[in-house]
């Protein structure tokens, strides 16, 4: 009886074989779990450093973006054309040159009005070209018999208009513009001179100045001597 009881107690206290196997394999599972955790942490660190680097690059890129972007006349989107920022179309260069030259040479009194116009539009000219214009105007005034009270009107020659051939690209930021102009001088409303002349001018990109020069362009000089192409009156 005693022996049987002892065997029964032994049978009751002995753990199942299945539980013994589970306990023996537990450390390996923990090691595998620990390795996976370290790999996961390492991956998170790499991703974190990558995001931090991307953030720094983004901040630097935003810092480098200019406060103002000069955009010339937009392209015709209906035809699918595109234009990069800073690209200056030929007709904008032509229109700029025509406008500035008209404003300089249009005056109610050529004796002093031309010099005043050069000063007024000096931000659209290089200093060298402004000086060249002043010298040229002084020589022309010396040749004239009378200058006081003589008005001068300058406009594009009749029939002349923008054409791609009138704008020659010297570089990515410099062009030659051929302007066909008509100069009409009057005294007391009476026409005294009517001249047609071709003015080849050089236009280049300038530093953008929203106050003094919002066009971002300036005239640097003549591309050869202006030539008379007709005389009427």
Rg from Cα positions in the chain: 41
90-105 and 113-120 helices cross at what angle (nearest 10)? 140
Cα separation values, 54 from 40, 49, 90, 118, 168, Å: 21, 9, 39, 51, 43
Question: In whole angstroms, what is the distance from residue 40 CA to residue 32 CA?
Answer: 12
154 closest CA partner among 137, 124, 129, 179: 179
Distance CA 74, CA 76 (A): 7
pLDDT at 66: 57
- 3-state SS class at 165: helix
Q: What is the pTM of this model?
A: 0.66
Helix H or strand E encompassing 202 = strand 190-205
Block mean pLDDT (10 aa), the chain, length 233: 48 51 51 67 81 80 61 56 72 93 92 92 95 90 78 90 90 94 89 91 88 90 88 48
Tell me if 105 sits within 8 A of 183, measured CB to CB. Answer: yes
Which tokens sit at 98?
């025509």
Tokens 């022309």 correspond to 140
Contact call for residues 133 and 107 (beta carbons, < 8 A): no
E-strand stretches of 29-173: 150-156, 167-171
Cα separation, 195 vs 183, whole angstroms: 5
* pLDDT for res 21: 46
Cβ density class 62-71: b for 16+ within 10 Å, e for less: eeeeeeeeee
Helix (H) or strand (E) holding 205: strand 190-205
| pLDDT for res 63 | 65
């Amino acid at each position: 009886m005693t022996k049987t009881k002892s065997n029964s107690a032994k049978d009751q206290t002995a753990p199942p074989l299945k539980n013994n196997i589970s306990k023996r394999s537990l450390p390996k599972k923990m090691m595998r779990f620990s390795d996976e955790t370290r790999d996961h942490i390492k991956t998170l660190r790499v991703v974190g450093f990558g995001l931090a680097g991307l953030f720094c690059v983004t901040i630097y890129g935003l810092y480098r973006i200019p406060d103002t972007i000069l955009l010339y006349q937009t392209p015709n989107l209906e035809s699918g054309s595109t234009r990069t920022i800073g690209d200056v179309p030929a007709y904008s260069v032509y229109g700029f040159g025509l406008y500035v030259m008209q404003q300089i040479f249009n005056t109610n009194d050529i004796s002093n009005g031309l010099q005043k116009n050069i000063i007024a539009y000096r931000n659209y000219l290089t200093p060298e070209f402004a000086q060249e214009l002043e010298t040229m105007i002084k020589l022309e005034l010396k040749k004239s018999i009378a200058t006081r009270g003589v008005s001068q009107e300058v406009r594009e020659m009749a029939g002349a208009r923008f054409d791609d051939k009138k704008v020659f690209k010297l570089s990515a930021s410099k062009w030659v513009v051929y302007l066909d102009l008509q100069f009409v001088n009057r005294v007391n409303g009476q026409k005294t001179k009517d001249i047609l002349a071709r003015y080849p001018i050089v236009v280049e990109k300038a530093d953008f100045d929203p106050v003094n020069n919002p066009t971002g362009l300036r005239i640097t000089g003549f591309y050869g001597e202006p030539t008379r192409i007709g005389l009427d009156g």
